[in-house]
Structure 1
Amino acid sequence: MVEIVSATVERWPVDGAFIISRGAKTHVDVIVCTVGDGTHVGRGEGTAIYYEGETAEDCAVAITAYRGPMDRDSVNRGMDSGAARNALDCALWDYEAKRTGVPVWQRAGLHAPVAVPTAFTISLNDPAQMEKDAQTAATRGFALLKCKLTGEGDRDRIAAVRRGAPHVRLIVDANESWAEMDVAAEAAALAALGVELIEQPIPHGHEEMLRGVQSPVPFCADESVHTRDDLNKLTGFSAVNVKLDKAGGLTEALALTAAARARGLRIMLGCMLGTSLGIAPAFLAAQGADWVDLDGALLLAKDRAGALAMRDGMLLPGNLWG
């Protein structure tokens, strides 16, 4: 019988610093859940949703405290969405694949995974540094850059990024920082610089702020959408950022993607900072997404052995998980 073997916290250094409007991160703490039956073992990784008050330590406690049946349906009914459930849900997917010899993508009814182009994040910084970082990323082969913004001086930042990487596609993440701004005017200014998507310009819980806003660039909900239950409250968004840590695992992420598409919403498949163990299940969910933003492991100083490979901005299938 499968049971939880362990739930541990690991710290992984960031390559330099990961800077957004809420602050800078120099490391990320991830929760690694291991399940097994004495013969077969499965692993899953989660990263705490810090803006929801989660910590890696609390997530590890929540996993070990789970006493329900050890199947994915029961776990998804018995635990709240978030990083703890993500780690356990993904560990169970991995275990099932190892026990049966049937890969996760096949068990989930997905197509065999192929390489996907991923965005690369340009951290929030002064325009000159963001220009330099964009040039470096473009030189590495990334054709899609995601720029972190702060609600002040954003047009100058994106103009600088465009100078550094004139031919890349651009998306931006305001991280809820445009509450006091003319969102429509800011969107129009960024559209003139070639920005094709704006992520979460307004604070979650205040989705009505986008009602009636006319924008030449689509808005993508991130903090506003964790699971399918959140779709009804969306106003003014035409895309959703699906993240396994928010959704609480691959099971809900796939269900959320299907429900969002049924409503005519476009899909970004995103991630938190984390290693390739956490990115691997998201890579399967990213097949067919409109935008893929799975650079969470690429921003670390090092990754796990057997990490997903990168080539010319393309994320390649691996055998670390599932």
Structure 2
Amino acid sequence: MTRPARLQLSLAIEPLPLKAPFRIAGYCFEAMPALTAILSEPGHYGRGEACGVYYLGDEPTSMLATLESCREPIEAGIDRLQLRGLLPPGGARNAIDCALWELQSQRERRPVWELAGLTRARPLVTAFTLGADDPDIVAAGARAHAQARLLKLKLDGEVEADIERVAAARRARPDVDLAVDANQAYTLDRIEPLIAALSDHRVMLLEQPFARGREADMDRLDCPIDVAADESLQGLDDVEALHGRFDVLNLKLDKCGGLTEALLIVARARALGMKLMVGNMLGTSWAAAPAFVLGQRCDVIDLDGPTFLAGDRLRAVVYRDGLIHCPGDVWGGGIADADDDAARAARTTAAVSAAPLR
């Protein structure tokens, strides 16, 4: 039996400053640091990026330490199935999993979407997200996103202010679909006025109203619109318990640990008759591209993360007419450059540690 090829693992942390502070319930972000991982061998490489899961303390520094401790089995030629046994769900596993997908794509000269069982990869209508700001700022943001077909509003749990935000967005953009994300900010005894307002303003989706661990409260929630689980869903093992309580599952590669796990969740959720959403953690196009592959199997797409950053990759996803487009040369296109293998591998490694953003 042929032994797997030995790989070279290169890791780096990038600061990823935002264009402007971004507010959600309980947090204000000015940057979203990310861990980048490159797995390379002569002639091929694979890239992965992960910001982690901030509310679980899953951050780039801890992810870096985790992967350094696992360097030997990873470089020995690990596959995605073995990776699921080596690391738990989270950002560290996501970075390596995505790198392995692209590495396979280059080895077989086939795009990742084809490896994932798709017949094509089409542009997707994506949400554009507005922070939990004053209603006038929300309205201005809604108007500024003139191309948007779907807007998502962040809520902060202040009922009157949240209702005003929703009303302001709807007045500014009567033509678009609206979704809202409470980020765990509500309790069962305070949410009724918000639910009524969401219905009045034709909001299509309410994301994670209650705290993670309070999923049983969903049994007593009377809500005429779809409700999505985000923080309540981390990996495949959570799906069964959420069935019957949530209508939609929001998949993020950083939470579940990569595209491999996410596709398993898709299969199980569809078997249960659940809808699916894909999001990401504000990363660059290296994070958005594998999520774009996952988005081909989802009902709601929320992949505007790169638009919040002060800079993105030189080869980046494209936002046009309310859709996200992902050219093959961004990530996972299936064919490496045709020049000298050693020189290419050296340039790829240098690109992460030096100046990967424009």
TM value normalised by structure 2: 0.87
Report if the CA contact (8 A) 1:188-1:217 is conserved: no
Summarize the alignment of residues 1-322 of structure 1 with structure 2, pairs less than 5 Å apart: 1-66=5-70, 67-68=72-73, 70-137=78-145, 139=146, 141-152=147-158, 153-179=161-187, 181-234=189-242, 236-318=245-327, 319-322=329-332
Distance (Å, rounded) in 1 between the aligned partners of 2:320 and 2:283: 19
Report if the CA contact (8 A) 1:21-1:175 is conserved: yes
For residues 108-167 of structure 1, what are the alpha-carbon distances to aligned partners after superposition, in whole Å with 9 as ceiling and x for unaligned?
112211111100001110111111111111x2x011000000111211110011111111
Report if the CA contact (8 A) 2:279-2:303 is conserved: yes
Q: CA distance change for structure 1 residues 164 and 181 in 2, over 3 Å: closer, same or farther? A: farther
Q: CA distance change for structure 1 residues 31 and 109 in 2, over 3 Å: closer, same or farther? A: same
Q: CA distance change for structure 1 residues 4 and 181 in 2, over 3 Å: closer, same or farther? A: farther
How far did 1:4 drift?
4.1
Supply the AA of the counterpart residue of 1:29. P
Q: CA distance change for structure 1 residues 150 and 181 in 2, over 3 Å: closer, same or farther? A: farther
Distance (Å, rounded) in 1 between the aligned partners of 2:68 and 2:208: 33
Distance (Å, rounded) in 1 between the aligned partners of 2:78 and 2:102: 13
Q: State the SS of the aligned residue for 1:298.
A: helix
Distance (Å, rounded) in 2 between the aligned partners of 1:192 and 1:292: 23
Say how many residue pairs are matched.
Answer: 320
How far did 1:320 drift?
1.4
Report if the CA contact (8 A) 2:131-2:153 is conserved: yes
Greater gyration radius: 2
Report if the CA contact (8 A) 1:2-1:35 is conserved: no
Range that drifts further, 232-241 or 7-16? 232-241
Report if the CA contact (8 A) 1:44-1:278 is conserved: yes
Distance (Å, rounded) in 1 between the aligned partners of 2:297 and 2:200: 28
Q: CA distance change for structure 1 residues 88 and 210 in 2, over 3 Å: closer, same or farther? A: same
- Superposition misfits of 4+ residues, deviation over 4 angstroms: none
Distance (Å, rounded) in 2 between the aligned partners of 1:23 and 1:180: 22
For residues 279-321 of structure 1, what are the alpha-carbon distances to aligned partners after superposition, in whole Å with 9 as ceiling and x for unaligned?
1000011014211000011111221100011111111121211
How far did 1:39 drift?
2.7
Q: State the SS of the aligned residue for 1:61.
A: helix
Distance (Å, rounded) in 2 between the aligned partners of 1:19 and 1:2: 43
Distance (Å, rounded) in 1 between the aligned partners of 2:42 and 2:225: 52
Unaligned 5+ runs, structure 2? 333-358
Supply the AA of the counterpart residue of 1:320. V
Report if the CA contact (8 A) 1:212-1:236 is conserved: no
Report if the CA contact (8 A) 2:113-2:121 is conserved: yes
Distance (Å, rounded) in 2 between the aligned partners of 1:71 and 1:11: 29
